[in-house]
Amino acid sequence: MSVTLIDGKAFAAKVRGQVAEHVSALKESHGVTPGLAVVLVGEDPASQVYVRSKGKQTVEVGMNSFEHKLDVDTSEADLLALIDRLNNDPDVHGILVQLPLPEHLNEDLVINSIAPEKDVDGFHISNVGLLGTGQTSMVPCTPLGCLMMLREHHGSLSGLNAVVVGRSNIVGKPMAQLLLGDSCTVTIAHSRTKDLPEVLRRADIVVAAVGRPEFVQGDWIKPGATVIDVGINRIERDGKNKLVGDVDFASAQTVAGAITPVPGGVGPMTIACLLANTLTACCRSRGLPEPQ
């Protein structure tokens, strides 16, 4: 049985193309341009790369990009004042505060100060609650991208056994909610899970969001299962810097039916979903039909 490589890069390009078409139609028919504000506090190198990439792709699909770069020692009051201004700015439809924040800033407080309808990351407590109760919400971008790839590959996910490894608020938990929403039988595994390999061997779908390089082994995977690798880990191998996922790709691809590569899988889909969420937020703010 040969493995299917799920091409997140190509899929993300398709999603961005659809977003660009909608943006252009919105401008033409309603004279509105969706706008995304990204707030970066400090100079974390990985965060700087993400913010640059988000800004570039926002402009490429025809949206307005507003970047706010703040000093690492910005006070909580100043950050909250900026978010308040963005909440009240009619040209800003989506607000993203790049995480992690410097230690002196309370992440929960900051995220929950974003207007829920502009919370394109889907981390505001209102959006978490709406997602958990199956209501219309802003859905976190990384799990949304994973779900889109799974739907594209499988069609219906109904009745499939899904195991999500990781229970973080930004990936694991919302991923599990989304899979449940698509009628999977969902198990959430974490660092205290007993006999993880055995739990994984029952999974038709594995979503790995662990933060440990090449952690999930091929012989933990049920033959033919679909493996979505969320991990982004920088390692050094043979004297070179390399990006690897949370799944041992070499062994997993010999067993899985389908697998996402790292890089080129979940990563590109995350930013594409951020753009899609910004478009959705813009349409909702105007009472216009949402793009499907």
For the beta sheet containing 64-70, the strands, ordered from the edge strand earlier in sequence to the opposite edge, are 64-70, 35-41, 94-97
Name which of 87 and 233 has its Cβ closer to ligand NDP: 233
- Active-site entry in 121, 182, 204, 229: 121
Q: Which residues 127-146 are close enough to bind ligand NDP by CB under 6 A?
A: 142
Distance CA 156, CA 162 (A): 13
Is 48 one of the catalytic residues? no
What 3-state DSSP class applies to 140? coil
Distance CA 282, CA 33 (A): 8
Is 54 one of the catalytic residues? yes
Place of tokens 């049920």: 222
Q: Is 264 a known ligand-binding residue?
A: no
Q: Is 211 a known ligand-binding residue?
A: no
Q: Is 251 a known ligand-binding residue?
A: no
Distance CA 190, CA 166 (A): 5
Chain-centre distance for alpha carbon 76? 26
Candidate list 193, 217, 251, 285; residue touching ligand NDP; CB under 6 A? 193
Name which of 26 and 110 has its Cβ closer to ligand NDP: 110
What 3-state DSSP class applies to 238? coil
Q: Is 125 a known ligand-binding residue?
A: no
194 near ligand NDP, rule: CB under 6 A:
no
CA atoms 202, 206, 210, 214: torsion sign? positive
Chain-centre distance for alpha carbon 251? 26
Place of tokens 């779908």: 205
212 near ligand NDP, rule: CB under 6 A:
yes
Q: Which residues 156-185 are close enough to bind ligand NDP by CB under 6 A?
A: 165-168, 170-172
- Binding map of ligand NDP across residues 229-258, x = CB under 6 A, - = no contact: -xxxx------------x------------
Is 121 one of the catalytic residues? yes
Residues in the annotated binding site for NADP(+):
166-168, 232
Could you list the residues that contact ligand NDP (CB under 6 A)?
142, 165-168, 170-172, 189-193, 196, 209-212, 230-233, 246, 266-267, 270
Which residues are tagged catalytic? 54, 98, 121
